[in-house]
Amino acid sequence: MKKALAIAAVLLAVLAVIYLAGSWYFSGLVVKFNAQSLEQQQARHGTPADYGLPAPEEVTIPGEGVTLAGWFFDNPAGDDCGAILLHGITGSRYGMLKYAPLFWSRGCDLLFYDHRYHGGSTGDYGTYGYYEKLDALDALAWFEQRTGLQPGQIGLLGESYGAATALQTAPAVPELAFIAADSSYEDLKTIIKEQATQQFGRWTQLFVPGALAISGLRASFAPSQVSPLLAAPQIAAPVFLSHSATDEFTLPHHSQDIAANLPATLCHRLNLTDWGSRHAHSIDDNFAAYQAQFDEFLSTCASSFGQVSPP
């Protein structure tokens, strides 16, 4: 009997070690992922000039324990609107250049910056909006001071990781002109479970609770609180949601669920694009259609935001 108990105890200890080791490994993929360099991003996305922008002003923004690196564009065509653009996971400010034409022709000033632990910014971990929403508030305060704009003249537009960050930032600034979120995830637990299954198989579901718990300990955050879905009912600014109907990386139900949780009286749009795009590529594949959807949203839900300059 004692021998059997001893064997059982050893087996349990071995299983515990395996579980902890696996959870530690997967936690690294969650919060210590490999972000691309600015050089890699430039080669992939091009330069500001490729999108009709002038040379940017390189800026740094102090945050809570981090320094954010970015670009500021002072639009000579106007002074009554601005947009802050938030990139996706492992990316950088370069990945958001494709959205600039939505705002530049309206005379809007623009701010692009790299999330903490991305690009030229500092930081040891990515936390999917937990700390990034505080960084966004610091960036907003910097942008207001630099431009003289009020929150009601400024919109936040994010893609994927940046979209989730924008949505989680929104409740703290109800007077924003709008929030635009392309291909957001609804919460960290759901997207990690789906990604674990896609990339490694269903067996990894066993490690998700452990990986999230260790991720929280490593990066000092609460994974359960990373949730655009929970933030949605508290949002007061108009919301534009876009998601490709054929997105296999972050499934369209994420944006659908977020839309369903927005206040019933809030002016918002959910566009499930139907032109066969991959994750966060709707604007790449059909810019004209994407712009038409976004312009309709602004004209209906944020009509005082900027004015389109004549061609």
Whether residue 268 contacts residue 262, with contact meaning beta carbons closer than 8 Å, is answered with yes
- Laid out side by side, the sheet with 57-62 consists of 57-62, 67-73, 109-113, 82-86, 154-159, 178-182, 239-244, 268-273
> Does 141 reside within a domain?
yes
What is the model's pLDDT at position 17? 85
> Does 25 reside within a domain?
no
Buried b (16+ CB within 10 A) or exposed e, 2-17: eeeeeeeeeeeeeeee
The model carries a pTM of 0.95
**Other residues' Cβ atoms within 10 Å of the Cβ of residue 285:** 14
Distance between CA atoms of residues 206 and 164, nearest Å: 25
Task: Could you list the beta-strand ranges (E) of 191-297.
Answer: 239-244, 268-273
Distance between CA atoms of residues 137 and 77, nearest Å: 26
Alpha-carbon 187 to chain mean position? 12
Tens digit of pLDDT for each residue in 218-258?
999 999 999 999 999 999 999 999 999 999 999 999 999 99
Task: Could you list the beta-strand ranges (E) of 74-200.
Answer: 82-86, 109-113, 154-159, 178-182
Distance between CA atoms of residues 155 and 238, nearest Å: 10
Whether residue 177 contacts residue 302, with contact meaning beta carbons closer than 8 Å, is answered with yes
Give the three-state DSSP class for 149: coil
Nearest-10 crossing angle of helices 132-147, 161-169: 70
> Does 203 reside within a domain?
no
> Does 210 reside within a domain?
no
DSSP symbols for 3-61: HHHHHHHHHHHHHHHHHHHHHHHHHHHHHS--PPPHHHHHHHH--GGGGT--PPEEEEE
**Other residues' Cβ atoms within 10 Å of the Cβ of residue 148:** 12
Domain of residue 53 covers 32-187+226-301
What is the model's pLDDT at position 309? 53
> Does 26 reside within a domain?
no
Distance between CA atoms of residues 265 and 95, nearest Å: 33
> Does 283 reside within a domain?
yes
The per-residue pLDDT string of the chain (311 residues; one tens digit each, 9 = 90 and over) reads 677 777 777 677 778 889 899 999 999 999 999 999 999 999 999 999 999 999 999 999 999 899 999 999 999 988 799 999 999 999 999 999 999 999 999 999 999 999 999 999 999 999 999 999 999 999 999 999 999 999 999 999 999 999 999 999 999 999 999 999 999 999 999 999 999 999 999 999 999 999 999 999 999 999 999 999 999 999 999 999 999 999 999 999 999 999 999 999 999 999 999 999 999 999 999 999 999 999 999 999 999 998 655 54
> Does 219 reside within a domain?
no
> Does 17 reside within a domain?
no
Q: Report the DSSP beta bridge partners of residue 70.
A: 59, 113
Q: Report the DSSP beta bridge partners of residue 271.
A: 242
What is the model's pLDDT at position 307? 67
Distances, alpha carbon 12 to alpha carbons 26, 194, 275, in Å: 21, 28, 51
**Other residues' Cβ atoms within 10 Å of the Cβ of residue 211:** 24
What is the model's pLDDT at position 3? 74
CATH number of domain containing 77: 3.40.50.1820
Give how many domains the chain has, as a whole number. 1
**Other residues' Cβ atoms within 10 Å of the Cβ of residue 46:** 13
